[in-house]
Amino acid sequence: MIVNSVRSALQADYPDLQVIVVDDGSTDMTLNRLVQSYGLVKMDGTCHPASPRHTSAPITSIRRFPTWWLSAKCGGGSRMPSMSALTSAAHPTFCNLDADCLLERDALLRLMDPIVNSALKPW
């Protein structure tokens, strides 16, 4: 299901979309499925190199694809991988999805519409 979830996220209509996938060391073959499906290559590093909020979170490997990246971690529960993704994100807004979620193509635009429109209206 993770492969379909990533595919749906990558197809989302949203400007400057950044997709960060975090594997928390689960035993359900998430990492292997993504590596096989997308031909990912292991890179050394502790976070996304362009991130202005550098972190030394315990990421054991980073695999990069042109439009998204995946960080593989050694456990730590669900909070640690989420915090790693947040500190590595290049944008101030984010949407957190589980591995079994599918994103409709315009879902992010619909979610952000009330926020963007409320910022344009005077108080």
Give the chain's domain count.
Answer: 1
Question: Strands, E, within the chain: which ranges?
Answer: 19-23, 41-43, 59-65, 68-73
More reliable by pLDDT, 1 or 74: 1
CA of residue 88 relative to chain centroid, distance: 9
Confidence class for position 1, pLDDT limits 50, 70, 90:
confident
Give residue-wise pLDDT tens across range 19-33.
888 887 778 888 888
- Residues spanned by the domain of 47: 2-120
**pLDDT tens for each residue of 59-89:** 445 556 666 777 776 555 556 666 767 777 7
pTM attached to this predicted model? 0.72
Q: In this structure, is the dihedral angle defined by the CA atoms of residues 16, 80, 36 and 42, taken in order, positive or negative?
A: positive
Question: Regarding predicted confidence, which is higher, 49 or 66?
Answer: 66
